[in-house]
Structure 1
C-alpha cells in the first residue's frame, strides 16, 4: 500500500508499504520506525509550537502535538524499539530584516528534536536545513527513508 501524507497530517503503516510526503520546505518530515515490527509512520509538521496560537483547527500541523500523536499510535501498535529520522526545515526565503526567530525551518527542527528527546526516541539520521525543498519516502519493508532534494538528487537515511 502506498500512502501520501499532506501538510499537517501523519500516517502509520505496516510492511509492505511506502509513506510519502512532498513539498517539505521549512516544514519537517518526521519518520519514526520500529525495525523489529516493520512498522512506522511519517508526520508532515508545519509549525513548531501550538502554544503560540490561542486557537487552531488542526493539531497535527504542530511539532509539539503531531510527534507525540505519531509516537503514541505506534506504541498502540506494539512498537517498542523506535528510531527517528527527520528531513526538511529549510530556510526558503531570506529577508533584509532577517531575525533568527523568524527562521521557521530551524525552529521546526529544534522543536522536533526536543520532542523526540522527551519521548526517548533516538534521532538516528537527518537531512535538514539548506534552502531547497524535499520529498521523503519511508519504505516500511526496509526502514530506509529516501530523500529527493530539488536540484540535488536523492539520498538515503
Structure 2
C-alpha cells in the first residue's frame, strides 16, 4: 500500500511540474519586452493582437509570431518571424524591433503605419526579408 501512495505522490509531482513548465517563460525575455513595446506602439482596431496579452509568445502562439522550434544556447526560444500583414494596424515601428536579434522575416505590409523606419532594424544581422510596403513610412533605411 505504501508503494501505491509513493507512486501517487510521484504522479502528482510530475503533473505539477508539467503544469508549471508549460506556464514558464520559454521565449528570450528581451524579445518578449520588445514585442510588448511593438504592441504598445500600434493601434489595433480589429483586435488582431489580442493574443499578445496571454502567456509566452512562443508557447501561446501569439498572432503573427513564429519561433524557432529549438532552444538557443541561452536556453530560450527566439522569434524567427514577425508577420503582421494586412491587419489594419496603425501607429509606428518601435526601435525595440532591433532586439529581435534572430529575426529572419519582418512583415508589416499593407497596414497604416506612419513615421520613419527605425535604424535599429538594420542591426538585425539575421534579417533576410523586410516587408514594409503599403504603409505611410518615411525616411531612409541603410
The answer to whether the superposition gives a TM-score over 0.5 is: no
Which structure shows the bigger proportion of residues in strand conformation? 1
Rg: which structure is higher? 2
Name the structure, 1 or 2, with higher relative contact order (CA <8 Å, separation 6+). Answer: 1
TM-score range, shorter chain: 0.3 to 0.5
